[in-house]
Amino acid sequence: MSENMYTFENEEYKHAYRHTAAHILAQAAKRLYPDTKLAIGPAIENGFYYDFDTSETFTPEAVEKIEAEMKKIIKEKLPIERFELSRQEALEFVKEQGETYKEELINDLPEDEIISFYKQGEFTDLCAGPHVDTTARIKANALKLTSCTGAYWRGDANNKMLQRVYGTCFMSKPELDEHLQRIEEAKLRDHRKLGRELDLFATFEEGPGFPFFFPKGMVVRNELVSYWREEHKKAGYEEISTPMILNEQLWHRSGHWDHYKDNMYFTNIDDVGFAIKPMNCPGGMIAYKRKMWSYRDFPSRIAELGVVHRNEPSGTLHGLMRVRYFTQDDAHIYMTSEHIPAEIAAVIDLADRIYKTFGFSYRVELSTRPENFMGEIETWNMAEKTLEDVLIEKNVNYKINPGDGAFYGPKIDFHLLDCLGRSWQCATLQLDFQMPERFDLEYVGPDGEKHRPVVIHRTILGSLERFIGVLTEHYAGAFPLWLAPVQVIVMPITDRTRDYAQTVAVNLENAGFRVETDYRSEKIGFKIREAQMQKIPYMLVLGDKEAESSEVTVRKRAEGDIGAMPLEKFIDDLKKEAANRR
């Protein structure tokens, strides 16, 4: 790697840099706590982590000590050297070190896999690499250990709980400081915290991974669904609903059994095996087969807000972002081959329109054939080229994500970028020639003969629950007017204006707005502060003057006091803002 490539603009170097920092973390932990056993330590999007099995509890003080030791190791300027061993030699080496987790990893490697290690000073670790050439490459003043959490070995709740230490590192201190500031902002925006504070949603020990939505959260959810339905109706979609539990044989037929059974829940009905659906596709195929279709019916765009369940490891659960129960805004588009380019383009346009409503930018990935694919390679090559041609035609910037397609077809993924620059994978579009074959789907062509349709699987929001979590963090709980659970709060200053406050509230409700009235005998400043904490978009302060003139003094959540105006004008302005949905 040439010297001018030693920057984070080079993704390979950034990965090697952070991967090296993970090894330095492991070396520091082993120096301070020699009985520590090493699990895994990868580079991740914004830093790195390492999983440890140790009798030591990694308190914040212990993490600080480890960070200080890491900086010593950096200053030692240790060369980093790679070497290879045969499988038997590698097993003997890690057994000698007492590294049982590394032994398990070696045993899981393919027989022909090259087994490599990296050595720096007294520390050696099983690793495929890559790494930088010396610990001195890592900038000590731009490195920070950020947290320690529990993590099951290999993400399996049946395995031992390990201690995972997270860190981040950059090439300069200002870059680190900026990142740490974003972390602090992200903590304030954490949807789990805001969900409880704003009484929107939560998860409980009685149902890990199964979110509860409360009345205010249901307002956000229902407004989002109404908007989704409105946009899909305009785009020519019809809506269906399919059962949550279907016969086990269906999942064998669809191929999900071979590729997904470990993530599924099962039950028995009348001594027959059934599966709780992890996705909506097979039900959609059955719904299609209820009648014979004509080519004149195509393209047929069928949407579903389908509730699915997935058996996710408990160590991966995270608020609304990673759950076991969620609602997919699914759709299946049935068509002839001639329809494919136009329908792909239409889905891209729909996703773009919806994301812009919420103020999201996004990046796009084209995911290609995975190792466990179904069907013929020639079909996959044609499908991948079709997706790529449409992206090029529409001037969409994209990158290839090799091997990450669905098992039945290549896909286009949309990764939303929120106000902190974080990426969230939401929309996906999958071009499928396999399911129609598996389910023997047919239509009658212009020649009067039966033909096989092509299917696009797609979501826009992805998971409704996850999208609400992303929105909550993106807006920091301060939802735009049309989504806000309470849009206006009316606050009389004294009991003398109570009747006028009620009149104002009724007028607002009759105009279609969600209104609360605060009649409490509290000082107006206290009421305003509480309304601000609840992130209500508009506060109406009503005193004697407002009651006499039939006006309202308006405070806006982000701008403060914007003055008095006639109630009619306020309602007209509110209607325009709500209709704009921006």
What are the tens digits of pLDDT across the range 341-375? 999 999 999 999 999 999 999 999 999 998 888 88
Residues 516-534: pLDDT tens digits?
Answer: 999 999 999 999 999 999 9
| pLDDT value of position 329 | 95
Active site residues per annotation? 281, 310, 328, 330, 332, 411, 457
- pLDDT tier for residue 429 given thresholds of 50, 70 and 90: very high
With H, G, I as helix, E, B as strand and everything else as coil, classify residue 374. Answer: coil
Return the number of other C-beta atoms located less than 10 Å from residue 129's C-beta: 14
Residue 328, judged by CB atoms within 10 A of its CB (0-12, 13-18, 19+), counts as: buried
Cα separation, 541 vs 529, in Å, equals: 13
Q: Specify the amino acid at residue 184.
A: E
| pLDDT value of position 509 | 97
Q: Specify the amino acid at residue 165.
A: V
Using a pLDDT cut of 90, give the percent of the chain over it. Answer: 81
Cα separation, 275 vs 257, in Å, equals: 10
The count of C-alpha atoms lying within 13 angstroms of the C-alpha of 411, restricted to the half-sphere facing its C-beta, is 21
What's the first-to-final CA gap in the chain, in angstroms? 47
| pLDDT value of position 3 | 53
> Is the pLDDT score of 421 beyond 90?
no
Would you give the DSSP letter of residue 36? P
| pLDDT value of position 419 | 75
| pLDDT value of position 1 | 44
Residues 45-65: pLDDT tens digits?
Answer: 889 999 999 998 999 999 999
Cα separation, 172 vs 476, in Å, equals: 29
Residues 85-121: pLDDT tens digits?
Answer: 999 999 999 999 999 999 999 998 888 788 999 999 9
- pLDDT tier for residue 4 given thresholds of 50, 70 and 90: low
Higher pLDDT, 496 or 255: 496
Residue 489, beta-bridge partner list: 516, 539
The encoded tokens of residue 285 equal: 């195929």
**Per-chain mean pLDDT for the chain:** 93
> E strands within 86-142?
115-120, 123-126
- H or E, element range at 425: strand 423-432
Going 137 to 142 to 148 to 153, the CA torsion angle's sign is negative
- pLDDT tier for residue 177 given thresholds of 50, 70 and 90: very high
Q: Strands 245-247 and 398-401, how do they pair?
A: unpaired
| pLDDT value of position 423 | 83
Cα separation, 70 vs 26, in Å, equals: 9
> Is the pLDDT score of 434 beyond 90?
no
Tell me the CA distances in angstroms from 199 to 232, 387, 526, 534, one per residue in order: 30, 42, 20, 9
> Is the Cβ–Cβ distance between 332 and 356 less than 8 Å?
no
> Is the pLDDT score of 155 beyond 60?
yes
3-state SS record for 164-199: EEEEEECCCHHHHHHHHHHHHHHHHHCHHHHHHHCC
The encoded tokens of residue 148 equal: 């320690």
> Is the Cβ–Cβ distance between 137 and 17 less than 8 Å?
yes
Tell me the CA distances in angstroms from 185 to 83, 189, 248, 421, one per residue in order: 43, 6, 46, 12
> Is the pLDDT score of 12 beyond 80?
yes
| pLDDT value of position 518 | 95
Q: Which long-range contacts (CB under 8 A, 24 or more apart) does 546-555 make?
A: 546/497, 546/500, 547/496, 547/497, 547/500, 552/504, 555/528
| pLDDT value of position 407 | 82
Would you give the DSSP letter of residue 77? T
> Is the pLDDT score of 581 beyond 70?
yes
Higher pLDDT, 511 or 157: 511
Residue 412, beta-bridge partner list: 366, 429
> Is the Cβ–Cβ distance between 54 and 33 less than 8 Å?
yes
| pLDDT value of position 417 | 84
Average pLDDT over residues 186-208: 94
Residue 161, beta-bridge partner list: 152
| pLDDT value of position 70 | 97
| pLDDT value of position 352 | 95
> Is the pLDDT score of 259 beyond 80?
no
- Residue 299: asked if its preceding bond is cis (omega within 30°), the reply is yes
Dmax over Cα atoms in the chain, in whole Å? 91
**Element counts in the chain: helices (H) and strands (E):** 18, 29
Tell me phi and psi for residue 300, to 5 degrees: -105, 115
